[in-house]
Structure 1
């Protein structure tokens, strides 16, 4: 299978203010969808929450982007050098 693209995950909204600054607490998906020449497959993603602008101590609405690094599953090659990163938008109310 050859990788064609990484599908951007749906935005996460409605997170409670003060939520811990972790991928799990913020409700970020553990996997993202990859489009290959043989159909879609899921791949795990590691979110770089530490670099996000979110500050749990700020009590106002915050919208920020978290960048993730995708790990190719076994059997998926990347001959076209598709970027193995994705972003997700998160809104904390």
Structure 2
């Protein structure tokens, strides 16, 4: 069972990573390869909000997209993923 709040965090992380990838002009395959993935399926699952990546994977993607300065925002999101209410942050 998914903990409260995790669905919203997964979706927010995926949406933002997809926005950054598109801004960089990369397709899924190119982004996955640049991040050291063997295929684009894992990245597609993250962007669709189905999987929540580890912070190391997010760091690699942010570096690929030239947005590494956004890492603290993602760390904060992941840290608070299991909290019951957004207002508890």
TM-score, length of structure 1 as denominator length: 0.21
Q: Which has the higher strand share?
A: 1
TM-score normalized with structure 2 length: 0.22
Which has a greater percent of helix? Answer: 2
